[in-house]
Amino acid sequence: MSNSGFQVSMAESLKAGTRQTVQAPFGLALAELAGKHEDVVGLTADLGKYTDILPFAKAFPDRYFNVGMAEQNLIAISAGLAKIGKVPFATTYGVFATRRAYEFIAVLCAHGHLNVKVFGALPGLTTSYGCSHQAIEDTGLMRLIPGLTVIDPCDATEIGQVVHTSYQIAGPVYVRLQRGNVIKALPEGYEFRHGKAQIVRQGSQIGIISTGLMTAHALDAAAALEKQGVSVAVLHAPCIKPFDAKAVVEFARSVERLATLENHVVAGGLATLVAEVLFEAGVSQKLVRMGLPDEYIECGSPGYLMDKYGISSARIEQKLSSMMKN
């Protein structure tokens, strides 16, 4: 695998179907970053292959450490490295980073304001393996930690940009990581801007505020609704913390109906953030929250589960249609 340029193939996994994908965008970007900065170190807890860090490991074997299946130690070692001036990028699944190593991230990294970058794979319903692997409440957990930056990138391009940006951000960062063949979904020319939400589709009748992979589904659903004569705008909010309150308030005021969409339980994450900032700004508006219910979800393929739980493009389209009837 080369460090320059992405390896591009066609997506087959998503129903939307025809999007380009990039294999292991995280590892490719990390290898590129490490080529520029000698202080970058990559670590994993027995999930190197499954968190896409191998392109980096191959390019910089001396800066790659597999600590074994030991997520608390992964974060503690990263904290130690950061203390003496390294910039560790640590990977595991989101559930293990947040549920098992939470305190290590809070006390060591966040309170210590350490330069540890945690990339947690399998956000929301992107695994077949059931509740032990589905990070459905990680955004909520992590946004509560003072001083921690939390980012949920949408696509392959944005993941690459977030790798580079997170190096520039002083302090700890948690990123929800999509792995494997990751789609390209954001408009040509889109660039991640730290702390900013950006309108990725203009519209007036319905406004969707979405984050992570769900912005791709929002764009699909919006395109489908346009054919029915409904104008749908999409505000992509990858930065959960810091959150772009100003953009959200302006966006909410610019549309007739408002919805949020996230690959996460609807409590504690994006929807909650939006409600907080709107209320604080005195904007009173009905809000349709699309996301996962307050329950653990069974095993099943991502496509099947997203459809069942209402966050597939098709189900979102239905939901938006029904919003127009109210």
Ligand X SMILES: Cc1ncc(C[n+]2csc(CCOP(=O)(O)OP(=O)(O)O)c2C)c(N)n1
Q: Which residues 6+ apart lie within 8 Å of 132 measured at CB?
A: 95
Q: Which residue from 24, 33, 59, 95 is in contact with another protein, where contact means CB under 8 A?
A: 95
Least CB distance from residue 229 to ligand X, whole Å? 47
Residues β-bridged to residue 73: none
Site map (CB under 6 A) of ligand X, residues 31-70, x = contact: ---------------xx---------------------x-
Least CB distance from residue 46 to ligand X, whole Å? 4
Least CB distance from residue 300 to ligand X, whole Å? 17
Decide if 273 contacts 243 (C-beta within 8 A): yes
Bridge-based pairing state of the strands 20-23 and 181-183: antiparallel
The entry of ligand X, another protein, none that residue 72 binds, CB within 5 to 8 Å by partner kind: another protein
Q: Which residue from 86, 100, 111, 315 is in contact with another protein, where contact means CB under 8 A?
A: 100
The tokens describing 188, both together, are 């040509």
Cβ neighbours around 284 below 10 Å, total: 9
Cβ neighbours around 56 below 10 Å, total: 31
| Type of residue numbered 118 | V
Enumerate the H helices of the chain as residue ranges. Answer: 25-36, 54-59, 71-83, 94-95, 102-103, 138-143, 156-168, 214-227, 245-254, 270-280, 302-308, 313-325
CA 139, CA 135: separation in Å to the nearest integer?
8
Least CB distance from residue 81 to ligand X, whole Å? 20
Check residue 132 for interaction with another protein (CB under 8 A). yes
Q: Which residues 6+ apart lie within 8 Å of 80 measured at CB?
A: none
Decide if 155 contacts 183 (C-beta within 8 A): yes
Q: Which residues 6+ apart lie within 8 Å of 276 measured at CB?
A: none
The entry of ligand X, another protein, none that residue 7 binds, CB within 5 to 8 Å by partner kind: none
The entry of another protein, ligand X, none that residue 300 binds, CB within 5 to 8 Å by partner kind: another protein
Least CB distance from residue 62 to another protein, whole Å? 16
The entry of another protein, ligand X, none that residue 67 binds, CB within 5 to 8 Å by partner kind: another protein
Check residue 3 for interaction with another protein (CB under 8 A). no
Least CB distance from residue 118 to ligand X, whole Å? 14
- For ligand X, the closer CB: 69 or 107: 69
Count the residues of the shown chain that bind ligand X, applying the rule CB under 6 A: 5
Quote the radius of gyration of the chain (alpha carbons, Å).
19
- For ligand X, the closer CB: 43 or 154: 43
Contact positions vs ligand X (CB under 6 A) = 46-47, 69, 96, 100
Contact positions vs another protein (CB under 8 A) = 44, 46-50, 66-70, 72-73, 95-96, 99-100, 128-133, 298-301, 304
